[in-house]
């Protein structure tokens, strides 16, 4: 696994949170994107070398809606960059981690993504992401 690619934060109201984080970072988000298959609307911020993703549910069945229901707003996942997501998935399964989607799917920001179930990672939802060339 490589560096932390971004940190995902679940929010109730993307527009409000875009303003909040813009004043926190001193810079507005550089893009927004809807991932229809996941039921989320996202926006991305850069702070120095770091990237923050805000996620808002677009329907009540979205994983983000369920997360906020259970835990409230806050850090939702940590994403790590990987060079070869397929071999990384196989490696992690061999190590005993539960991969939520064995076939990488298209996520926001031009990435192939896969998630590890938090029950196998001390409660932290881990996202693997590989840049789509």
Binding to Zn ion (CB under 5 A) within 85-114 occurs at none
Q: Among all residues, whose Cβ is closest to Zn ion?
A: 8
Number of residues that bind Zn ion (CB under 5 A): 4
Q: Tell me: does residue 128 bind Zn ion (CB under 5 A).
A: no
CB of 47 to Zn ion, least distance (A): 16
Can you tell me the distance from the alpha carbon of 106 to that of 35, in angstroms, rounded to the nearest whole number? 9
State yes or no: residue 65 binds Zn ion (CB under 5 A): no
Position 126 contacts Zn ion (CB under 5 A): no
Only segment of 10-18, 31-39, 50-58, 85-93 that touches Zn ion (CB under 5 A):
50-58
Residue by residue, DSSP assigns 27-66 as S--SEEEEEGGGTEEEEEEEETTEEEEEEEESSTTSHHHH
Q: Pick from 57, 68, 79, 89 the residue near Zn ion by CB under 5 A.
A: 79
* Distance between CA atoms of residues 41 and 20, nearest Å: 17
At residue 116, the 3 state secondary structure works out as: strand
Contact 89, 80 (CB under 8 A): no
Residues from 6 through 35 that contact Zn ion (CB under 5 A): 8
- Residue 11 tokens read as 């929010």
Q: Would you tell me which residues interact with Zn ion (CB under 5 A)?
A: 8, 53, 79, 127
């Amino acid at each position: 696994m490589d560096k932390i690619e971004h940190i995902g934060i679940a929010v109730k109201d993307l527009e409000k949170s875009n303003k909040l984080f813009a004043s926190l970072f001193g810079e507005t988000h550089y893009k927004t994107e809807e991932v229809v298959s996941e039921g989320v609307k996202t926006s991305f911020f850069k702070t120095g070398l770091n990237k923050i993703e805000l996620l808002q549910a677009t329907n009540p069945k979205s994983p983000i809606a369920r997360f906020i229901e259970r835990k409230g707003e806050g850090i939702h996942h940590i994403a790590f960059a990987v060079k070869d997501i397929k071999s990384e998935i196989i490696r992690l399964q061999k190590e005993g981690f539960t991969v939520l989607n064995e076939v990488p799917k298209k996520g926001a920001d031009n990435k192939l993504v896969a998630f590890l179930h938090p029950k196998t990672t001390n409660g932290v939802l881990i996202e693997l992401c590989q840049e789509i060339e």
